[in-house]
Amino acid sequence: MAKRQLTPEELQAEQDLMQKVQNGYMVESVEEMTPGYKKALSVQLTVQADTELMSAPSYWRAAQHAPSTNTMVSAHAIIQDELAHANIAYRLLEDLGHSKEQLVYGREPHEFKHPYGFDQPLDNWAELVVATGFFDRAGITLLTDVHENTSYGPLKRALIKVGMEETFHLRHGEVWMRRLSKAGDHARGMLQRAVDWMFPMTIEWFGLPDELKRHSGQLDYKLKGLTNDQLRQVWMQSTVPLSESLGLKVPAHYDEERKEYVLDYPFPCEYDAEAKHWDFDGGEISWDQVFERWKARGPMNEWYVESIRRSRGQVESWLNDQAAA
């Protein structure tokens, strides 16, 4: 569908709202939103909701590898938090006129908007703890920025609870990465292999570099404060020193002259999802190629979506069985 040109009055209304929120105005209800604001907020909340939702089956599958009952319980506590975070974001989307039912049950698996990282299998305990150490750190990086800068009041308040729980997830990841790093060569090797594919996966998660970034309106409407490259730097500022302090190798270093972290590999580059291998030797690829890979979705996409939806059918058929008994 071709995009309709805004009338001068509509354009003025969009610009007025941008100006207002840039001056610190907080939007509290849908009546105050322009169509542009509502659309940009809907996109942001859908990505947030879908990311939280897909982290649950991904962590749940990996929690089967927990080394003890207690550790399995902590993994399940994280999964419960993620489902609650997803519910918060879908609930906020309902205020904007979207249907939670349609969003969770009415879309094809490839239509979900979570990052490619949550289309990947986490195959052992090391991969689960690096996911909570790296992916949850990415979540905290993105959501802290939204919490501090968003012009949408209901989201700002909801993120207080989310942020506190994400800190627990991250702590879980870091504590366990430390434990595994000291648990001998086998555990250490498993940890390093997880880091090898999950570090570049998280770097890519932050999206297009600023110089190529398409205009999304999220900064204009003050739905976030930092750019993709700035967020990538924030994530590396914690993750690179953490990994180095545990003796883990990561393909990035701090450049004293540029006063920022620099990647030591071609970015972006191709990823072999079956082998969990980044093709550094293949050199840099275009972002169009990355978008193509993201759009095709990764190996666990359908399985994760199905496992989210499965429960409803199971409960319904159990209840039917009870009624028939």
Q: How far is the CB of 81 from Fe ion (least distance, A)?
A: 6
Nearer to Fe ion, 169 or 297 (CB): 169
β-sheet bridge partners, residue 272: 277
> What DSSP character marks residue 25?
P
β-sheet bridge partners, residue 277: 272
Q: How far is the CB of 78 from Fe ion (least distance, A)?
A: 6
Nearer to Fe ion, 34 or 46 (CB): 46
Nearer to Fe ion, 33 or 140 (CB): 140
- Residue among 164, 167, 169, 53 at smallest CA distance from 100: 53
Q: How far is Cα 251 from Cα 306, in angstroms, rounded to an integer?
A: 35
Q: How far is the CB of 47 from Fe ion (least distance, A)?
A: 13
Q: How far is the CB of 29 from Fe ion (least distance, A)?
A: 25
Contact yes or no for 39/103 (Cβ under 8 A): no
Nearer to Fe ion, 79 or 236 (CB): 79
- Cα of first residue to Cα of last residue in the chain, in angstroms, is 52
Nearer to Fe ion, 37 or 59 (CB): 59
Q: How far is the CB of 66 from Fe ion (least distance, A)?
A: 16
Q: How far is Cα 39 from Cα 188, in angstroms, rounded to an integer?
A: 45
For tokens 């404060």, what's the residue? 225
Nearer to Fe ion, 119 or 136 (CB): 136
- Residue among 224, 308, 211 at smallest CA distance from 267: 211
Q: How far is the CB of 115 from Fe ion (least distance, A)?
A: 13
Q: Which residues bind Fe ion (CB under 5 A)?
A: 52, 82, 85, 136, 166, 169
What is the Cα 196 distance to its own chain's centre?
19
Alpha helices in the chain (DSSP H): 8-22, 35-63, 69-95, 100-105, 125-130, 136-149, 153-181, 185-205, 228-245, 287-296, 301-324
Q: How far is the CB of 82 from Fe ion (least distance, A)?
A: 5
SS3 category, 205: helix
Nearer to Fe ion, 52 or 204 (CB): 52
Residue at 51: amino acid letter: T
